[in-house]
Amino acid sequence: MDTQCPFCSVQCKMRVIEELGADLRSTYTVLPRPNKASEGRLCIKGMNAYQHALTGERILYPLAKKDGQFVRISWEEAYALIGRKFDELRGKYGSDTIGVYGGGSLTNESAYLLGKFARVALKTKYIDYNGRFCMSAAASAGNKTFGIDRGLTNQLADIEQASCIILAGTNIAECQPTLMPYFTRAKEKGAYLIAIDPRDTGTTRAADLHLRVKPGMDAALANGMLKVILEEGLIDESFVRQRTKGFEELRAHLEAQDLGQIAELTGVSAELIRKAALAYGRAATGMVFTARGVEQQTDGYMAVRNFLNLVLLTGKIGKPGCGYGAVTGQGNGQGGREHGQKADQLPGYRLIENPEDRAYVAGVWGIDPAELPGKGVSAYEMMEKVHEQEIRALFVMGSNPIVSNPNANFVEEGLRKLDFLVVADMLMSETARLADLILPVTPYLENEGTLTNLEGRVLLREASRPVSGEAKHDWQILCDIAKLHGKGAYFTYSSAEDIFNELRLASKGGIADYYGITYDRLKKEEGVYWPCPAVEHPGTKRLFEQSFAHADGKAELIAVNNHRPSEQTSNDFPLYLTTGRVLTHYLTGVQTRRSHSLAARDVESFMEIHPKAAKRYRIEDGELVQLESRRGSIYVRSRYSTDIREDTVFVPMHWGDTQCVNKITNQALDPTCRMPGFKVCAVKVSPLRLEYV
C-alpha cells in the first residue's frame, strides 16, 4: 500500500506491505519511498504508524452513550440522533448553538468541507480548529508582514544554500527528524547554525551556537540582534528602501534599546547576542526558522514579527539560500489553515468578513452571500462559549481538545455541560470518552486525499487499504449529515477528488490559489507548490523574488517591545514550566500511545529538571512529583538533566488525565492571533512521597 505518514508536516511517503502468514496473522513491513521532501527517509513514528491504524482498539462502529456506557448503534440510528438533537437545540437556541471544531490532520478535502458544512449545512458562525494552537502566531505575522502565509517561503532544497541558519524555538531533530539532513548538508558546506532554545536538544546540539534564552523572551533577544546589526552597518539599505516600509520607526526603536538590559531580560550574554547577530548579519545568504518555542507565547505574533524584521533588514529573502520558515506542525497544518475551518476564513485564505470574498465563495457554493454567517471566535474562546452555554452542541472532527487546550480542567468542565457532544475519531481519545456519540472514521491507510506540507507543496496521499468495519471517511460523514439538514444538494460528492475540484474553484484567485493543481498533476509531479493559478502554471517554489504580496509590493517592518510572558514566577510558583514534544509521540498521544513500538519507548510523561533546581526542592531523580500551577496539578516522574536552564522545567504534551500538562498551563491568549501561551507558566514542584501525602 503506497501512502503518506499521518503525522508531521514533512509528509514522508512510504509503502506498507501487509503479508498474511500461514497462521492467518498479518505481518507488516514499512519502506520509505523516494520523494523530494523526505528524500526517501522515514522517522520512527512513520515506521510504526500502521500499528495505531490497525490496532484492535480502532473504533469501527458508531457508538452512543447510554447510561454512561457506549453501545454500538447503526449509522442510521447515529444520524437520526444527530438530526433530532441538532434540530431541537437549534429550534430552542438558534443556529450558533452548534459549534464545529476541526483539525490539522484532516485532508484538504475534509478541512474544506468542514468549513462549508458549518456555514452552509449548519449555518453556524462557530467553527475553529486545533491549528489555532499551532500556526496562528506565525500565520498572522506572515500575513501582516508579507501579505501571505506559507510555512516556508522557499523549498527545502534551498536550505543547503544558506550560509547562516537561525533555528528559533524549533526542535527539528525530534519534530521533523527527516529534515535534519538538509541542515547537516548545509553545515558540511560551511553554514553556521544558531539555535535559540531554553533547553539542549538534538537540534541545538547540531548548532554552532546555542542561545539558551529565558522562556518567553525571544522578542527581546531579536531586538538585541537587530540593534547589533543596525550599529554594525549590516543593513541591506537598498533592499530596505525598495522593498519594505516602516524602517524609520524601527530604527528609532532599536537605537533606544540597551543591549545590557536585553542580556539581563533574556538570560543570554551581550557577547553571545553580538556573536549571533554578526554571524547572521555578515553572512552572504541566510535563513531563519521559527516554531512553537517562539510562537506559543502571549506575544507570539510580535515575537515572530521581530524575527521577520531580522530577515527583512538584512535583505535575506526571495533569493536562493535566503528566506524564512515557520516550521509547520501537523500533517496538514498548512492546507488545514487555508480553506475555511478557521473562524474568520473562507477557502483560498479568503476572509469571511470581506464582502467580495463572501460573494465569490457564495457563488461557488450556489448560495446567497447573505446566508453566510459572520466570523466566530478562536478555539479556546469557543471553549469559553461552551462554558457559558452559548454553544450547547459541539461537533469535533480530528482533535482531542480536553488534552490539547490550555487550562484543560476548565475545558473538560465545559464539555461536560454540553447537551450534545459528537466526536468523529478512529480511536477513543480522552475527548471521545466524554461524547454522547462517536462516529468512526478512516485512518491514513484507508483515506485518500491531499495534504499540503510545510513547504506549501500539495501532495496526494494514496490510500488503498479497504475501509475497516463500518468506518467512513470524514468527508462522507459531513455529506451524510448535510443531507439530514436538507442541504444534500450542496454536498453531492462521490470522491475526494470531486471535493478537491470544487476546492480548486473556491480557492481560485485567492491568496492560497490551488486552481492549477489537479489530482492528475499530483500523481505525475511529486507535489505542486501553491500559489498555482493555472493548470499550465509550474507552481511557486520560492516566494517574494520580485515583490511581496501586499498591494504596494512592500513588506512591513514593525517596532517590537521587549514583552515578558503574562505569567511570572513568584515565591509560591518559583519555576518556569515550558512544554513541547519528544521524538516518539505525537501531540496528545492518542495515536502514538496505541503503537506498541512507540509506547514502549516512552510509557509515561516526565518532567525534565536541572539537578541543582531539583536539590532545592528535594526532588530525587526518577521519582513521582506533583507539579502545580495556579490552575491545577499533575503527577509526573522527574528526570534529571543538565540540558535545561535551572529556572525552568519541561514536560511533554503527549499524555492525558493526571499527566495532562495542559491542566496547569496558562489560558492567556496573544491579543492579535489568540494563540495561548503554552510555552511559559509558573509552577511549583514537590515530591510525591508517602510521608507527604
Ligand X SMILES: Nc1nc2c(c(=O)[nH]1)N[C@H]1C(S)=C(S)[C@@H](COP(=O)(O)OP(=O)(O)OC[C@H]3O[C@@H](n4cnc5c(=O)[nH]c(N)nc54)[C@H](O)[C@@H]3O)O[C@H]1N2
In this complex, which beta carbon is closest to Mo ion, that of residue 172 or of residue 228? Answer: 172
Q: How far is the CB of 479 from ligand X (least distance, A)?
A: 14
Q: How far is the CB of 332 from ligand SF4 (least distance, A)?
A: 11
Rounded Cα gap, residues 509 and 356, in angstroms: 11
Cell readout for 644 is 535545561
Contact 634, 663 (CB under 8 A): yes
Between 22 and 41, how does the x/- string for binding to ligand SF4 read (CB under 6 A)?
----------------x---
> Residue 277, interface with ligand SF4 (CB under 6 A)?
no
What is the four-CA torsion angle of 273, 276, 282, 288, rounded to 10 degrees?
-120
Which of the choices Mo ion, ligand SF4, ligand X, none does residue 653 contact, using the CB cut-off of 5 to 8 A by kind? Answer: ligand X
In this complex, which beta carbon is closest to ligand SF4, that of residue 228 or of residue 451? Answer: 451
Segment lying near Mo ion (by CB under 5 A), choices 46-54, 67-75, 327-335, 594-602:
327-335
Contact 223, 560 (CB under 8 A): yes
Which of 16, 43, 590, 675 binds ligand SF4 (CB under 6 A)? It is: 43
Rounded Cα gap, residues 128 and 489, in angstroms: 25
Which of the choices ligand SF4, ligand X, Mo ion, none does residue 46 contact, using the CB cut-off of 5 to 8 A by kind? Answer: ligand SF4
Q: Kindly report the three-state secondary structure assignment for every residue of 222-256.
A: HHHHHHHHHHCCCCCHHHHHHHEECHHHHHHHHHC
What is the secondary structure of 590-616 as a DSSP string? TTGGG-HHHHTT--S-EEEE-HHHHHH
In this complex, which beta carbon is closest to ligand X, that of residue 130 or of residue 285? Answer: 130
Which of 5, 37, 43, 134 binds Mo ion (CB under 5 A)? It is: 134
Segment lying near Mo ion (by CB under 5 A), choices 25-33, 324-332, 373-381, 640-648:
324-332
Binding footprint of ligand X on the chain (CB under 6 A): 8, 103-106, 130, 133-134, 168-171, 174-176, 196-199, 201, 213, 215-216, 218, 291-294, 296, 329-330, 397-401, 403-404, 424-427, 429, 441, 474, 578-581, 583, 585-588, 590-591, 653, 661-662, 665, 678-679
Q: How far is the CB of 403 from ligand X (least distance, A)?
A: 6
Q: How far is the CB of 459 from Mo ion (least distance, A)?
A: 18
Q: How far is the CB of 139 from ligand X (least distance, A)?
A: 12
| Residue (of 604, 607, 612, 614) closest to 580 by Cα position | 607
Cα end-to-end span (Å), the chain: 53
Please state the length of the chain. 693
Q: Which residues of 106-124 are buried (b: 16+ CB within 10 A; e: fewer)?
A: bbbbbbbbbbbbbbbbbbb
In this complex, which beta carbon is closest to Mo ion, that of residue 113 or of residue 327? Answer: 327
Half-sphere exposure of 526 (CA within 13 A, CB side): 11
Which of the choices Mo ion, ligand SF4, ligand X, none does residue 38 contact, using the CB cut-off of 5 to 8 A by kind? Answer: ligand SF4
Instruction: For residue 66, list its beta bridge partners.
Output: 69
Which of 3, 16, 45, 265 binds ligand SF4 (CB under 6 A)? It is: 45
Binding to ligand SF4, residues 302-361 (CB under 6 A): none
Between 176 and 205, how does the x/- string for binding to ligand SF4 read (CB under 6 A)?
xxx---------------------------
In this complex, which beta carbon is closest to ligand SF4, that of residue 522 or of residue 559? Answer: 522
Which of the choices ligand SF4, Mo ion, ligand X, none does residue 579 contact, using the CB cut-off of 5 to 8 A by kind? Answer: ligand X
Residue nearest to ligand SF4 (CB): 46
| Residue (of 667, 579, 664, 578) closest to 629 by Cα position | 664
Contact 112, 503 (CB under 8 A): yes
Half-sphere exposure of 11 (CA within 13 A, CB side): 33
Rounded Cα gap, residues 372 and 491, in angstroms: 16
Contact 401, 129 (CB under 8 A): no
Rounded Cα gap, residues 598 and 218, in angstroms: 33
- Residue 61 CB neighbour total at 10 angstroms: 17
Between 140 and 179, how does the x/- string for binding to ligand SF4 read (CB under 6 A)?
------------------------------------xxx-
> Residue 42, interface with ligand SF4 (CB under 6 A)?
yes
In this complex, which beta carbon is closest to ligand SF4, that of residue 283 or of residue 522? Answer: 522
- Report, in angstroms and rounded to the nearest whole number, the Rg of the chain calculated over CA atoms: 24
Q: How far is the CB of 566 from ligand SF4 (least distance, A)?
A: 32
> Residue 619, interface with Mo ion (CB under 5 A)?
no
Cell readout for 93 is 437556541
What is the secondary structure of 28-45 as a DSSP string? EEEEE---TTTTT---HH
In this complex, which beta carbon is closest to ligand X, that of residue 102 or of residue 533? Answer: 102
Q: How far is the CB of 220 from ligand X (least distance, A)?
A: 11
In this complex, which beta carbon is closest to ligand X, that of residue 203 or of residue 540? Answer: 203
Segment lying near ligand SF4 (by CB under 6 A), choices 10-18, 64-72, 319-327, 603-611:
10-18
Instruction: For residue 32, list its beta bridge partners.
Output: 14
In this complex, which beta carbon is closest to ligand X, that of residue 219 or of residue 250? Answer: 219
Q: How far is the CB of 660 from ligand X (least distance, A)?
A: 9
Rounded Cα gap, residues 531 and 510, in angstroms: 9
Rounded Cα gap, residues 115 and 102, in angstroms: 9
Segment lying near ligand SF4 (by CB under 6 A), choices 8-16, 110-118, 158-166, 644-652:
8-16
In this complex, which beta carbon is closest to ligand X, that of residue 219 or of residue 517? Answer: 219
Instruction: For residue 555, list its beta bridge partners.
Output: 244
Q: How far is the CB of 258 from ligand X (least distance, A)?
A: 21
- Residue type present at position 130: N
Q: What is the DSSP letter of 468?
A: P
* Non-local CB neighbours of 254 within 8 Å, separated by 6+ positions: 223, 226, 227, 230, 559
In this complex, which beta carbon is closest to ligand X, that of residue 5 or of residue 364? Answer: 5
In this complex, which beta carbon is closest to ligand SF4, that of residue 169 or of residue 177? Answer: 177
Q: How far is the CB of 511 from Mo ion (least distance, A)?
A: 21
Q: How far is the CB of 241 from ligand X (least distance, A)?
A: 31
In this complex, which beta carbon is closest to ligand SF4, that of residue 38 or of residue 450? Answer: 38
Q: How far is the CB of 331 from ligand SF4 (least distance, A)?
A: 7
Q: How far is the CB of 100 from ligand SF4 (least distance, A)?
A: 27
Which of the choices Mo ion, ligand SF4, ligand X, none does residue 42 contact, using the CB cut-off of 5 to 8 A by kind? Answer: ligand SF4
Which of the choices ligand X, Mo ion, ligand SF4, none does residue 218 contact, using the CB cut-off of 5 to 8 A by kind? Answer: ligand X
In this complex, which beta carbon is closest to ligand SF4, that of residue 35 or of residue 667? Answer: 35
In this complex, which beta carbon is closest to Mo ion, that of residue 174 or of residue 446? Answer: 174
In 89-228, which ranges are E strands? 98-102, 127-129, 164-168, 192-196, 209-211
Segment lying near Mo ion (by CB under 5 A), choices 279-287, 328-336, 404-412, 545-553:
328-336
Q: Which residues of 543-577 are buried (b: 16+ CB within 10 A; e: fewer)?
A: bbeeebbbeeebbbbbbbebbbbbbebeeebebbb
Contact 506, 347 (CB under 8 A): yes
Contact 481, 321 (CB under 8 A): no
**Residues of the shown chain interacting with Mo ion in the complex, contacts defined by CB under 5 A:** 134, 329
- Per CB under 6 A, residues contacting ligand SF4 are 5, 7-8, 10-12, 38, 42-43, 45-46, 176-178
